[in-house]
Structure 1
């Protein structure tokens, strides 16, 4: 079926010989979901860091500290049904939304108790991962190559190491000037 949606079951998956339009449609869907996840996570983290009452609330008593631990563990709990329902169309999107909210709260709480330098470094490295995987995806898709086993991850890892090294060198250089 031309113009169908593979995830919704209105088009037939064709393996590696699919049309370029189908491949680009899938890439667009993935990046829309990824961008929404990153934006929600960043927004929740900003709220948790800016509103100082939130981290104070989570360390106010042992019962609330238990809630904090549950919020940190909950994304891992959500991953189990997400794995089993990954092929069920409306359920997998709902579980992905729950997972995104859960991981956003975990990241937000972690950011609330972490120094700004570490948060900035993690944010920069996340941006590098997304951009390097995007560059690799476009490079591979333009050449008609499919993702091999470790190609994109090795490329992203190389980019992380390079940027991490640059951050460490520049932060030491900047601190020596002060």
Structure 2
């Protein structure tokens, strides 16, 4: 093979390959990449450091992937769907209990006779209970609306679950005091004060759970809860079925729901199972609908057993807890089905 077959040899002594361009153009940038020799002749050394852990461009992480849209964001924790940092806490459950000194039976309740004084006392008692209940539901609905629509508040309560558990403790203690202590329950203003604290605690818990679900699920749960409560109340006014005769059955039902709630909470804390969560929510919604009918008939006083007119605070508390629990259980069912 002759020498002419070889490619021409570049001779540095003859100067740069390309002559510099005329004009006032700035000199070309310095080149230099690790492992590719160095800068062209006549140029200063490249300012780039070399090494196996050297970032190739701003934001690059050596040995890994460049940051993307999900880099550094917390991983989603699970149900009720994507977009939530952690699963919502389970709703508060306490078995509904009514001390025996609150109830009267036989011929002592208002609707058994034609005594106008007894009837007027019972009607005034019913009006007072429903006025208190309306105020409680108004407070709860307002807090749920704030926790659902105000995004900073919604994010705050979801990040700080310690406040939820603190309100749970307040709810538990005030509930026990109002149920077990006859003096604070009947004496003004302690009964109203304890009931107000109880309402605020349960409202905060309800709003915290609502913040984990989207607006559509919350609205549907509110609407269905309102329909269920109205239907149950009208049914209790019209029906001849006496739910107050089955106090033992309702006591067992309350214990079953309470124990089932504890077991479900423990199991779901280790491994989330959608079918178990939905089964528990369905049982809870049905059970507290029955409790609402039972407590409503005790309030009306036209059945075998009735609640004393002096226990207006406890009557309002019972109905309020039933309605809130129905809403929370329906919210869990609807929230899971809309994902």
Q: TM-score, normalised by structure 2?
A: 0.36
- After superposition, the C-alpha distances for 1:141-168 in whole angstroms (9 at most, x for unaligned) are xx9x9873459937859xx9xxx8xxx9
Contact 1:132 1:156 in 2 (8 A): no
The structure with the largest alpha-carbon Rg is 2
Higher helix share: 1
Q: Give the secondary structure class of the aligned counterpart of 1:114.
A: coil
Q: Give the secondary structure class of the aligned counterpart of 2:244.
A: coil
Cα offset for 1:111? 0.9
Q: How does 1:5-16 map to 2 (within 5 A)?
A: 15-16=108-109
Contact 2:136 2:199 in 1 (8 A): yes
Match of 2:187 among 88, 113, 126: 88
Contact 1:44 1:108 in 2 (8 A): yes
Alignment CA distance shift 1:72-1:30 (3 Å): same
Q: How does 1:1-178 map to 2 (within 5 A)?
A: 15-17=108-110, 19-60=118-159, 64-83=160-179, 84=181, 85-139=184-238, 148-149=244-245, 153=290, 156=293
Cα offset for 1:34? 1.0
* C-alpha distance in structure 2 between counterparts of 1:136 and 1:21, whole Å: 22
Cα offset for 1:72? 3.8
Structural RMSD (CA): 3.5
Q: Give the secondary structure class of the aligned counterpart of 1:86.
A: helix
* C-alpha distance in structure 2 between counterparts of 1:95 and 1:155, whole Å: 22
Aligned length: 144
Contact 2:167 2:205 in 1 (8 A): yes
Contact 1:133 1:155 in 2 (8 A): yes
* C-alpha distance in structure 2 between counterparts of 1:103 and 1:147, whole Å: 27
Cα offset for 1:52? 0.8
- After superposition, the C-alpha distances for 1:29-71 in whole angstroms (9 at most, x for unaligned) are 11111111111110111011111111322344xxx33223222
- After superposition, the C-alpha distances for 1:102-141 in whole angstroms (9 at most, x for unaligned) are 111111111111133432332123213431343245437x
Structure 1 alignment gaps of length 5 or more:
1-13, 173-178
Alignment CA distance shift 1:150-1:127 (3 Å): farther
Structure 2 alignment gaps of length 5 or more:
1-106, 248-288, 295-325
